[in-house]
DNA sequence: GCATGTGAAAATCTTCACAGCA
DNA sequence: TGCTGTGAAGATTTTCACATGC
C-alpha cells in the first residue's frame, strides 16, 4: 500500500461494496473474489480492486477477500464502526417510512429522536419513537446526536438546518430538493426522488 | 454550438438546474444569470455555463437566461416534455409515501397504476389509485406505461423487474439496494437511503 | 459593462495489462 | 493456476481565463 488521496468516487462506492459484503455474510460466505463481488454489486472487478488498493492489502492472491475482515475494514474507513445517533425532523409520510425502515441498523445508524411541528403528532409514539416538538431541537446538543435526517417541506428546510447546525449536528441528509447553506465543515447529502427519476427518460430508448 | 458528446455528469445535473428554474418560474422571475442560478442550486457558475454550452446558445450575454425558455429546453433534452405513465410496484410505507408525493407532476411523471401482492391491500384505493394484484403486471404492456418504480422487499426485486421488462417498461427506478440484472437497453436507477447516509460519517469532522 | 460560451490546462477517474504472491 | 495489487495509458470531467456579443 502507498499513500494516495482517496478518490471521492471510491468513497461513494464503498457503501455499495459493504452492502454486498453484508449480504454475503448473512449467507455465511467466508471469502469472495473481486469477480464474484463484481457480479453481486454490478461494478467491474478491476474497479473494485483499484478502490480497495487505496486502503491497504485487503485480499489474498489466489483466494480473494475474507468477508468478515473486509466488512470490518470498510466500516472503519467509513467511520461506521461506532453507533451514530440520528435525529429525524418531519414525521410526514416520508418520515414515517424512514422510522419503519429496517436498513439503517447494519450501518450503525440509530434514530433516537423524532420531531415535528404538528400538535396532532407531538407526543405520539411512532415505531417506538416519541415525537417531540421542533422547539426542542436545540436541546439535541446534550443528547450526543451527530447526524440528522430532514424530511420537512421545502420552505422549512433551511430554518431547520440552521437550528441543527447550532445544536452541533455534523452531518445532514435531506430530502428537500433545495440547496441549503451551511458552514463548510458540515456535510450535507441530498436525496431527491424526482431529480433522480428525471434522468431516466433521457436514457430510455424510444 | 458545436457537436459534443454530452457528459454523463451534465445529464445528472440538468434535473437540478430544472428544479431551480421551476422554483424561479413560480416566483415569476423572467431571466437569471449563471451566477444567480449557481447560488440557488449550489453548483459553480462556470460549470453551469459549460453544461449548457453542450446544447446550444441558451443565454444572452449581458442578460442571462430566459427562465421559461430554459425550462422548455431542458425538459426537451431530458425528454420530460411529454407525460410518462408510471407504475408503482409495492405499496408499503415507502410506496404510500410515493403515491402521496406531489413532486412528480412538474416533471411529467404520472403514477397511473399501483400493484401489491398483499390481498389485504389489493382492491383498496390509495391517493385515488387502485391497488391491483401483481399478477396483472404483464397487462401493463397494453397501458402505455414506460416507467416503473419498484418499492418491494429485496428478494422480490429481480422477479418484479423481469416481469416489468417483459411488459415493455423502458426505465426502472428501484429502492431495493441489490443489483438487478436487466437487458442493456433498459435503464435502471437505484436509490438507497442507507447507502447514501453511509457516506456522511466519512466526511464529518470529528 | 455585464454575462455568456468555449478552447485549453489541470485534475480526477476508469480501464487495462500484467507482475507477483498464495 | 487463480486472484490480487498497481503502474501506466486512456477517458472524462472540472476549472480557468478571456474573447465575444448584447
All domains in chain B, ordered by first residue: 8-77 (1.10.10.10), 84-195 (3.40.50.720)
Distance CA A130, CA A103 (A): 20
**How confident is the model over A88-94, as a mean pLDDT?**
95
Cell of B130: 387502485
Q: Vertex A68, ends A65 and A69: CA angle to 5°?
A: 65
What three-state secondary structure class fits B54?
A: coil
As ranges, strand C nucleotides with an atom below 7 A of a protein CB are 1-7, 12-17, 20-22
Residue A1: what pLDDT? Answer: 45
Nearest nucleotide by C1' position to the B57 CA atom: C5
Residue B1: what pLDDT? Answer: 45
With a cut of 70, say whether residue A4 has pLDDT above it.
no
pLDDT along chain B (206 residues), means of 10: 76 97 96 97 97 91 96 96 97 94 94 98 97 97 96 95 97 94 95 96 87
Interatomic CA–C1' length for residue A40 and nucleotide D14, angstroms: 32
With a cut of 70, say whether residue A42 has pLDDT above it.
yes
Nearest nucleotide by C1' position to the A35 CA atom: D3
Evaluated on CA atoms B45, B46, B52, B53, the torsion sign reads positive
Cell of A43: 461494478
Global pTM reads 0.94
Distance CA B6, CA B182 (A): 24
Amino acid at each position: 500500500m502507498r499513500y494516495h488521496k482517496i478518490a471521492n468516487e471510491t468513497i461513494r462506492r464503498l457503501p455499495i461494496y459493504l452492502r454486498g459484503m453484508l449480504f454475503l455474510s448473512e449467507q455465511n460466505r467466508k471469502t469472495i473474489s473481486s469477480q464474484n463481488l463484481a457480479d453481486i454489486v454490478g461494478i467491474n472487478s478491476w474497479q473494485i480492486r483499484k478502490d480497495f488498493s487505496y486502503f491497504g492489502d485487503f485480499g489474498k492472491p489466489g483466494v480473494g477477500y475474507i468477508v468478515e475482515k473486509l466488512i470490518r475494514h470498510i466500516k472503519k474507513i467509513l467511520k461506521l464502526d461506532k453507533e451514530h445517533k440520528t435525529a429525524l425532523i418531519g414525521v410526514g409520510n416520508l418520515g414515517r417510512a424512514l422510522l419503519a425502515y429496517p436498513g439503517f441498523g447494519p450501518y450503525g445508524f440509530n434514530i433516537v429522536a423524532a420531531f415535528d411541528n404538528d400538535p396532532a403528532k407531538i407526543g405520539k409514539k411512532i415505531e417506538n419513537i416519541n415525537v417531540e416538538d421542533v422547539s426542542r431541537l436545540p436541546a439535541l446538543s446534550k443528547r450526543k446526536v451527530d447526524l440528522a435526517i430532514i424530511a420537512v417541506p421545502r420552505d422549512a428546510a433551511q430554518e431547520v438546518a440552521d437550528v441543527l447546525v447550532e445544536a452541533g449536528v455534523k452531518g445532514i441528509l435531506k430530502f428537500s430538493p433545495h440547496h441549503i447553506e451551511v458552514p463548510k465543515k458540515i456535510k450535507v447529502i441530498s436525496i431527491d426522488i424526482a431529480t433522480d427519476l428525471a434522468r431516466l427518460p433521457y436514457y430510455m430508448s424510444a
